[in-house]
A and B are shown apart, each in its own frame.
Chain A
């Protein structure tokens, strides 16, 4: 009954999701509610010389029209970034609505609030804004050029920060002495997150009590409240409740504190009525923080045996027009620290500069820095293998950190706690039947077919993060989490967690965890999340931290509950605590048939007629905060096999093998689902997705007609398997599974396509046309296999 860990229980939340009964922010309709429509800049860069709201105010159904100045005049501060990168980081103000200038297409300029959404949208067309268009920079190289237009006057050369990590002298020396150097210029293109539920916010000020409730489709309601209260508005935290009901995906884009949240919180107080805003899909494209967007030069040196001796990396990271909540941390600490990968590289140096451009801000997107690091390393490994005439699997294997080297200190700060990389590689090769594949590939090539294979042996650092480490690297928050267990008198349990599911199935996994340890039916456990009024505190869901950090906090609370329950049981059974065993939901005096059930103990705790009231408080409820000791380090091997149509350049993925090690697994089906989704996302970057801005900063891929996200029919059946190396430092032995697929898969696919067509590199997304051109280039340079 209660052996839930390791069981593929069907997701309890799916019943309501797939029958259309989820309750998302936009489903909430409050009495007397009004609707906000943002008037957004059509220019990437322009001075605002005047805003005439008169006509809009007089349109039917209009309640109010506000501009940026109204908000500034009310003493509302700009939205801060949450990560300080170096003393000199340029952090120009990011106002709720633009005040003097607009800096990207989609920047908010004014807001119309009306009785209906349609009325607000109609009236918004009558807000007259006098723009003076300014030269814009969308491209990082242009932003860095001499005399480039400045996105912010106080950020010279459009640079926000410089950052470096590792030992430059050691890396330089290692490369100078290397037997072979592989150099790679990488464009890691910009992605658009595309959560299926657009962002939505409702501000609801209660005039009678002065309480503010903010509903927002967010991955971390507590952080939103903290930023909103402590930094932006100065509202007292105890008068502000942030609720994130069901959240339909985020991929990172719903971590951040957005202007629309500040606006609705402010405007509801101004007009004394609830204010709702729900993004149109076309708004999501130009306001949700985007991801990736690096230009990188990387050099990896090898000795004559193929051992990596050094790595040097220089990256320009596009920050967009403003620094979003985690922006600076992503291309630095979440990227540079991953550059050892699975390898024993002794000397690593990385330099990153954060660049402002007139584009949508860039921040964490599924994997956040780690996909960029993995892409760089795993492409380098395949390129190096080709250049040195080595087998790509063999080259990786000989550079692996060995199981007996853990804990392993990398030259880029991290200490890997555990790992067994060869086991995952071997398992993947086995599933693929590598030797047989190589023969089939030879034969297919002889027939003129273009078949290729690509590897990716990856590591990620997740379960973020030890607060002291986070603080030391510039995060302006701690990264612990909380878990609270409320056992009701009847023995039913509510679990309150500070992490918040936006598709990961927490209601199932966390209920399994609690039911397993309390040895009660899962149906007796319910998860409560996404509400600052109910949950003590929390840092939300991202960085594959929910189970590793939030789950560990719940485990600590479980220990407290079981500890007290044991005391009550000992009293009731008139036995010593040590003489009790807890089996099948019963405390039993060992060797006897005297027992008391969990339900009876709960009832006793709340009806303490016969109770050790002198020593023990009534009730059965505990909270625990858990601060992780280290990151967790999932790893694995992904292998992709593709066939390319030589006539059209179309890529078909024939096989996709993924062996991941995410530590202990509570619900294998959910983990597989996370891995599947992650792989799909990573394949999306490799083959389909890419934000394109023109030279004026207009987003050309602003609809689903132009921006391709992968669909089921574009993807093969994934062959997923696992090795299990438990995390040694958290009580659950778990690591995190939400991002592994995305981190691992992109380079595997690019490696496979390059192998198939005999190209050194193909720019992502590898559209059919780009692959077709690569085939031609390979053929005309004579090194194609076809």
Chain B
């Protein structure tokens, strides 16, 4: 359908965008438009003004420091997928970005838009949880960091406040003895995750697991960390057996979504299968 009538304006800096947000009720930021525009065309979303931030080029940068990879909020999925920095320092993120939607979606959609939208079946949420990323936010009262595990609150609901903008996502660089992987079971229609599991593990020189994080998306009303799996694995050698034992029954069917694409029982099962696959690959990479 045709969206309801709306005003449109471009912001050329973060400050300008913040000022525009501040000056308008019911205004929305427009980044890649690949979540917002479809919702507007279905008349499910009805902003009175769109503030197009896609021209703010400094928000599209991907840079690296000693300890982290900084991905600008406007980096497209395609930019993340093909970034040499991301590939070298945080390869799993590039892999996951390459599995989002289709080429058109990847060429337009942005990491900031994806996180702000917080679709329960989006891919990045699992990644930011497993990789312990921090989401950098600019707002009327300055900038601050939100740890990934505090970010996702509910269906399409995040810790982002009205009037705030995501400017950057900061991923800690993977250490030599760590590895990460993402396993996604796609909805055959939408290609979003029915269940997607991102796993990060770190091992000591003996191959003992010194840290693990498992981020799960698609399964529940919002992405979550499966801390029980991580807890189970710590201090253990990562073998097929220990991984299988840790993931068995990791998700409670009662907490899973139950819809046309998958029952809650099947989703709970898929959590275990996808976690096993992601952990197995992550462990291999950590010990690689």
Interface string of B157-201 (1 = CB under 8 A from A): 000000000000000000000000000010111101000000000
Complexed CA–CA distance, A772 and B263 (Å): 12
Give chain A interface residues in 751-786, CB to chain B under 8 Å. Answer: 767-769, 772-773
Give chain A interface residues in 244-303, CB to chain B under 8 Å. Answer: 280, 282
CB pair A705 B189 closer than 8 Å: yes
Q: Does B261 sit within 8 A of A, measured CB to CB? A: yes
Q: Does A66 sit within 8 A of B, measured CB to CB? A: no
CB < 8 Å: which of B42, B263, B273 contacts A282?
B42
CB < 8 Å: which of B4, B188, B263 contacts A714?
B188
Complexed CA–CA distance, A772 and B268 (Å): 13
A715 to chain B, nearest CB (A): 12
Interface string of A639-656 (1 = CB under 8 A from B): 000000001101000000
CB pair A118 B266 closer than 8 Å: no
Residues of B within 8 A of A647 (CB): 273
Q: Does B269 sit within 8 A of A, measured CB to CB? A: yes
Q: Does B262 sit within 8 A of A, measured CB to CB? A: yes
Q: Does A77 sit within 8 A of B, measured CB to CB? A: no
Q: Does B2 sit within 8 A of A, measured CB to CB? A: yes
Q: Does A121 sit within 8 A of B, measured CB to CB? A: yes
CB pair B2 A700 closer than 8 Å: no
Q: Does A182 sit within 8 A of B, measured CB to CB? A: no
Q: Does A701 sit within 8 A of B, measured CB to CB? A: yes
Q: Does B270 sit within 8 A of A, measured CB to CB? A: yes
CB < 8 Å: which of B1, B187, B189, B262 contacts A121?
B1
CB < 8 Å: which of B42, B189, B192, B262 contacts A708?
B189
Q: Does A707 sit within 8 A of B, measured CB to CB? A: yes
CB < 8 Å: which of A280, A648, A700 contacts B185?
A648
Residues of B within 8 A of A706 (CB): 189-190, 260-261
Residues of A within 8 A of B2 (CB): 117-118, 121-122
Q: Which residue of A lies closest to B4 (CB)?
A: A122
Q: Does A400 sit within 8 A of B, measured CB to CB? A: no
CB < 8 Å: which of A118, A648, A704, A767 contacts B273?
A648
Complexed CA–CA distance, A687 and B188 (Å): 10
Give chain A interface residues in 117-163, CB to chain B under 8 Å. Answer: 117-118, 121-122
Q: Does A692 sit within 8 A of B, measured CB to CB? A: yes
A120 to chain B, nearest CB (A): 9
A34 to chain B, nearest CB (A): 15
CB pair A769 B190 closer than 8 Å: no
Q: Which residue of A lies closest to B121 (CB)?
A: A705
A249 to chain B, nearest CB (A): 19
Residues of B within 8 A of A118 (CB): 2, 5
- With A121-B1, A648-B273 known as contacts, the answer to whether A692 contacts B260 (CB < 8 A) is yes
- With A121-B2, A282-B42, A708-B189 known as contacts, the answer to whether A648 contacts B260 (CB < 8 A) is no
Interface string of B103-145 (1 = CB under 8 A from A): 0000000000000000000000000000000000000000000
- With A117-B2, A121-B1, A280-B1 known as contacts, the answer to whether A769 contacts B262 (CB < 8 A) is yes
CB pair A769 B266 closer than 8 Å: yes
Complexed CA–CA distance, A425 and B150 (Å): 62
CB pair A707 B1 closer than 8 Å: no
- Interface size class on chain B is 10 to 19
Complexed CA–CA distance, A688 and B191 (Å): 13
Interface string of A678-711 (1 = CB under 8 A from B): 0000000001100010000000110011111100
Residues of A within 8 A of B192 (CB): 705
Complexed CA–CA distance, A35 and B275 (Å): 52
Chain B facing A: main interface SS: loop
Q: Which residue of B lies closest to A776 (CB)?
A: B269
CB pair A707 B266 closer than 8 Å: no
B202 to chain A, nearest CB (A): 26
Interface string of B243-264 (1 = CB under 8 A from A): 0000000000000000011110
Counting residue pairs across A and B whose Cβ atoms lie within 8 Å, the total is: 47
Residues of A within 8 A of B42 (CB): 282
- With A117-B2, A692-B260, A700-B260 known as contacts, the answer to whether A772 contacts B189 (CB < 8 A) is no
Most buried by A among B2, B5, B188: B188
Residues of A within 8 A of B270 (CB): 648
Q: Which residue of A lies closest to B185 (CB)?
A: A648
- With A118-B2, A121-B2, A769-B266 known as contacts, the answer to whether A705 contacts B273 (CB < 8 A) is no
Q: Which residue of B lies closest to A650 (CB)?
A: B185
Complexed CA–CA distance, A714 and B191 (Å): 12
A665 to chain B, nearest CB (A): 34
A768 to chain B, nearest CB (A): 8
Give chain A interface residues in 665-679, CB to chain B under 8 Å. Answer: none
Q: Which residue of B lies closest to A773 (CB)?
A: B266
Complexed CA–CA distance, A701 and B259 (Å): 11
Q: Which residue of B lies closest to A707 (CB)?
A: B189
Residues of A within 8 A of B5 (CB): 118, 122
Complexed CA–CA distance, A488 and B11 (Å): 62
Complexed CA–CA distance, A708 and B185 (Å): 15
B109 to chain A, nearest CB (A): 15
Residues of A within 8 A of B4 (CB): 122
Q: Which residue of A lies closest to B269 (CB)?
A: A772
Complexed CA–CA distance, A704 and B102 (Å): 14
- With A121-B1, A122-B4, A282-B42 known as contacts, the answer to whether A705 contacts B266 (CB < 8 A) is no
Complexed CA–CA distance, A464 and B96 (Å): 51
Complexed CA–CA distance, A122 and B1 (Å): 10
Complexed CA–CA distance, A767 and B261 (Å): 9
Complexed CA–CA distance, A706 and B259 (Å): 10
- With A648-B270, A772-B266, A772-B269 known as contacts, the answer to whether A704 contacts B189 (CB < 8 A) is yes
Complexed CA–CA distance, A688 and B185 (Å): 15
Residues of B within 8 A of A117 (CB): 2
- With A117-B2, A647-B273, A772-B269 known as contacts, the answer to whether A688 contacts B262 (CB < 8 A) is no
- With A122-B4, A280-B1 known as contacts, the answer to whether A708 contacts B188 (CB < 8 A) is yes
Residues of B within 8 A of A714 (CB): 188
Residues of B within 8 A of A700 (CB): 260
Complexed CA–CA distance, A280 and B2 (Å): 10
A106 to chain B, nearest CB (A): 14
Interface string of B1-18 (1 = CB under 8 A from A): 110110000000000000
Most buried by B among A650, A705, A772: A705
Complexed CA–CA distance, A100 and B73 (Å): 54
Q: Which residue of B lies closest to A704 (CB)?
A: B189
A125 to chain B, nearest CB (A): 8
A279 to chain B, nearest CB (A): 11
Complexed CA–CA distance, A687 and B5 (Å): 40
Residues of A within 8 A of B262 (CB): 769
Complexed CA–CA distance, A748 and B260 (Å): 25
Complexed CA–CA distance, A117 and B187 (Å): 33
Complexed CA–CA distance, A647 and B263 (Å): 16
Complexed CA–CA distance, A189 and B64 (Å): 53
Complexed CA–CA distance, A709 and B266 (Å): 22
Residues of B within 8 A of A707 (CB): 189
B5 to chain A, nearest CB (A): 8
Complexed CA–CA distance, A708 and B187 (Å): 9
Give chain B interface residues in 259-288, CB to chain A under 8 Å. Answer: 260-263, 266, 269-270, 273
B248 to chain A, nearest CB (A): 13
Pick 23 A–B contacts, CB within 8 A, sort by A.
A117-B2, A118-B2, A118-B5, A122-B5, A282-B1, A282-B42, A650-B185, A688-B188, A704-B189, A705-B192, A706-B189, A706-B190, A706-B260, A708-B188, A708-B189, A709-B189, A714-B188, A767-B188, A768-B188, A768-B266, A769-B263, A769-B266, A773-B266
Measured CB to CB, the residues of B under 8 A from A are 1-2, 4-5, 42, 185, 187-190, 192, 260-263, 266, 269-270, 273
Known: A705-B190, A772-B269. 8 other contacts (CB 8 A): A117-B2, A118-B5, A121-B2, A122-B5, A647-B273, A648-B273, A692-B260, A772-B266
Closest 7 CB pairs of A and B: A708-B189, A118-B2, A705-B190, A769-B266, A708-B188, A647-B273, A121-B2
